[in-house]
């Protein structure tokens, strides 16, 4: 069975602080994909990043960075110099390559509030 755990239910920071959102996953497969999605207050789900299980290189995109560590089954997301517009619920998700398997398994989400 696959499972995604986001232990932080809610995080509140002040603008310009750095914040890290944790994601821990469980899977028995060797080939899998990890995703982060953002759900702003308007409600839509926005794709942020995808990472496959063979690529443990960290990735940086502007103020966003992701740290994938297979040894600890973690795929953490860091926002540097947070801004009010970063306030949203962030979901980590897991999927397999095989289309016959179940679709995305989502974590329960972390609500990030960035105070001005």
Partner 1 sequence: DAGVIQSPRHEVTEMGQEVTLRCKPISGHNSLFWYRQTMMRGLELLIYFNNNVPIDDSGMPEDRFSAKMPNASFSTLKIQPSEPRDSAVYFCASRGGQGSQPQHFGDGTRLSIL
Binding site for partner 1 (CB under 8 A): 33, 35, 37, 43-47, 50, 52, 91, 95-109
Comparison of 63 and 102: residue with beta carbon closer to partner 1? 102
Length of the chain: 116
CA atoms 47, 95, 43, 14: torsion sign: negative
> CB–CB of 40/46 below 8 Å?
yes
Comparison of 82 and 109: residue with beta carbon closer to partner 1? 109
Nearest approach in angstroms of CB 85 to partner 1 is: 18
Nearest approach in angstroms of CB 48 to partner 1 is: 9
Euclidean distance between CA atoms 68 and 77, whole angstroms: 9
């Amino acid at each position: 069975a696959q499972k995604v755990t986001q232990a932080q239910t809610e995080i509140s920071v002040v603008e310009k602080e750095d914040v890290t959102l944790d994601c821990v996953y469980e899977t028995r497969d060797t080939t899998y994909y990890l995703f982060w999605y953002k759900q702003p207050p308007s409600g839509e789900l926005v794709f942020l990043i995808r990472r496959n299980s063979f690529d443990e290189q960290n990735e940086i995109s502007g103020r966003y960075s992701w740290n994938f560590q297979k040894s600890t089954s973690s795929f953490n997301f860091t926002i540097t110099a947070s801004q009010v517009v970063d306030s949203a619920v962030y979901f980590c998700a897991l999927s397999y390559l095989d289309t016959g398997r179940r679709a995305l398994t989502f974590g329960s989400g972390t609500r990030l509030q960035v105070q001005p």
